[in-house]
Chains A and B, each alone.
Chain A
Amino acid sequence: MKHSVIIMVLLPLLVLTGCQSMVESNQQNASLYQQLGERSGIADIVEDLLYRIVEDERINDQFRGIDVRQFHTNLTDQLCELSGGPCTYSGRGMRESHADMNVTDTQFNALAENLILAMEENGIPTGAQNRLIKKLVPLYPQIRNL
């Protein structure tokens, strides 16, 4: 009896997972850049990310006094280039730009969380979110200045 209850829960979930994966694997051929909505989609994500940063007590101090327009352009170009889009990031290197910020793990996690939520807000599929994060993870030691 108790087995069948669990199977009733597990089985549909696995089937759903399978279906969702098949649908999304069709989209896998589309480049990450396209899945993010190309440059205009990425610009929307970055805009929502900036609103979230301003509201977030854990990290907004670190962004106080920045040129918001310039930051928006730079980060959009950076994510566009990282995702395989036809953009060129023209800002400073990650290590250089974060050298005096003493970014903590708490702050790094807070930014990652806000980016994921901004992508969710813009309807980016889970797989594309994961692929973008995967490309950003190698920047961790440069941003934390490790």
Chain B
Amino acid sequence: MTRFATLLSTGLLALTASASLSADTGSRLWATGGVTSVGGAAGGGLSPWALLGGYASDEEWGGTLTLSRAATDDYTLSVVGAGVTWNNRIELTLARQTLDLDSLVFTLKNGFGLEEDELVQDVFGLKVRLAGDALYSPWGQWSAGLLHKRNREFTVPDAIGAEDDSGTDIYVGGSKLFFAAVMDRNLLVNATVRGTKANQGGLLGFGGDRNDSYEAMFEGSVGLFVTRQWLVGTEYRQKPDNLGFATEDDWWDVFVAWVPDRRLSITAALVNLGDVATLEDQRGAYLSLQASF
């Protein structure tokens, strides 16, 4: 915990310092780049949105750097991510996820004879804005994307029945900001459909003994801009259930994001990941820091 706090604060200082160096962060309006999801793509915390990361408008480049952490009862997930966006058209992202197994270490050792204490995965993301603008188009903004995920260590997923150590999610999403929608506040609505074989986002491999084919999953979120700097909302992400050794639950969260200006955002959330790899009812806190340049 202390190590991570140090890492976070050092990282944040470095990020804001580097972001401050470049005065131009792009022209899209504040908070319209969303934040960085656990998979690296711009979105909420759990789900990619149709918005592209950073603030690049149609004649600009932009980028983001992110540090996130979710600490539930028995797990800790850390994500380091980076992304670039060109002309508000194409977003490329990279993310490394590290799941500290904490309590599961004993289950793995006693049940499977495995001596692993963390799972690490890299995610390479591509998102293309197909049509529309979340703010200005009556029908909103529509994007499609790929998230190619690779386990760096497959011993644990293999032992619990996963079929593959890599997989690619494909998704289509729509985002729309409704001005002065609720008590004269702007309301952001996102819906995403994802085709995936990933177990727990891919950290437990891809496909399994129970199911080894792509399934369509629904993800949605709503957020209300209390002011242009404060966004509160909730997210839901449906999940497949491919592994026989433990059931996999859908994820949801309640979040508040603070976007003091374009260069920085801080997101805090209460997350509920349900049952994860035999450990029940994983709830916890999520914190994410993002710098844009």
Q: Is B88 in the interface zone, CB < 8 Å from A? A: yes
Max chain A Cβ within 10 angstroms of own Cβ: one of B184, B230, B269: B184
Given A9-B268, A13-B230, A106-B60, verify A127-B27 contact (CB < 8 Å).
no
Number of chain A residues close to chain B: CB under 8 A = 34
Q: Of A17, A21, A109, which is within 8 A of B27 by CB? A: A109
A91-146 interface with B by 8 A CB criterion? 104-106, 108-110, 112-113, 116, 126-128, 130-131, 133-134, 137, 140
Question: With A and B bound together, what is the CA distance between A137 and B177 in angstroms?
Answer: 11
Asked if B136 and A137 make an inter-chain contact with CB atoms under 8 angstroms apart, the answer reads: yes
B268 proximity list for chain A (CB < 8 A): 6, 9-10
Asked if A28 and B256 make an inter-chain contact with CB atoms under 8 angstroms apart, the answer reads: no
Question: With A and B bound together, what is the CA distance between A140 and B141 in angstroms?
Answer: 14
A7 proximity list for chain B (CB < 8 A): 270
Given A13-B230, A133-B179, A137-B135, verify A112-B29 contact (CB < 8 Å).
yes
Asked if A131 and B133 make an inter-chain contact with CB atoms under 8 angstroms apart, the answer reads: no
Task: Say how far B4's CB is from chain A's closest CB, in angstroms.
Answer: 12
> Is chain A's interface secondary structure helix, strand, loop, or mixed overall?
helix
A134 proximity list for chain B (CB < 8 A): 179-180
A1-35 interface with B by 8 A CB criterion? 2-3, 5-7, 9-10, 13-14, 17, 20-21, 24-25, 28
Q: Is B28 in the interface zone, CB < 8 Å from A? A: yes
Task: Say how far A49's CB is from chain B's closest CB, in angstroms.
Answer: 15
Question: With A and B bound together, what is the CA distance between A105 and B59 in angstroms?
Answer: 8
Task: Say how far A69's CB is from chain B's closest CB, in angstroms.
Answer: 28
Asked if B227 and A126 make an inter-chain contact with CB atoms under 8 angstroms apart, the answer reads: yes
Q: Of A2, A126, A140, which is within 8 A of B185 by CB? A: A126
Question: With A and B bound together, what is the CA distance between A134 and B71 in angstroms?
Answer: 39
Asked if A116 and B256 make an inter-chain contact with CB atoms under 8 angstroms apart, the answer reads: no
Can you name the residue of chain A whose Cβ is closest to the Cβ of B28?
Answer: A109
Asked if B27 and A130 make an inter-chain contact with CB atoms under 8 angstroms apart, the answer reads: no
Can you name the residue of chain A whose Cβ is closest to the Cβ of B226?
Answer: A17
Q: Is B11 in the interface zone, CB < 8 Å from A? A: no
Given A2-B71, A140-B136, verify A24-B184 contact (CB < 8 Å).
yes
List residues of chain A with CB under 8 Å of any chain B CB. Answer: 2-3, 5-7, 9-10, 13-14, 17, 20-21, 24-25, 28, 58, 104-106, 108-110, 112-113, 116, 126-128, 130-131, 133-134, 137, 140
List residues of chain B with CB under 8 Å of any chain A CB. Answer: 27-29, 57-60, 71, 88, 133, 135-137, 179-180, 183-186, 226-228, 230, 232, 254, 256, 268-270, 283-285
Can you name 23 A-B pairs with beta carbons within 8 Å? A3-B270, A6-B268, A9-B256, A10-B268, A10-B270, A13-B232, A14-B232, A21-B185, A104-B57, A105-B57, A106-B58, A106-B59, A106-B60, A110-B27, A112-B29, A116-B29, A116-B228, A127-B185, A130-B185, A133-B179, A134-B179, A137-B135, A137-B136
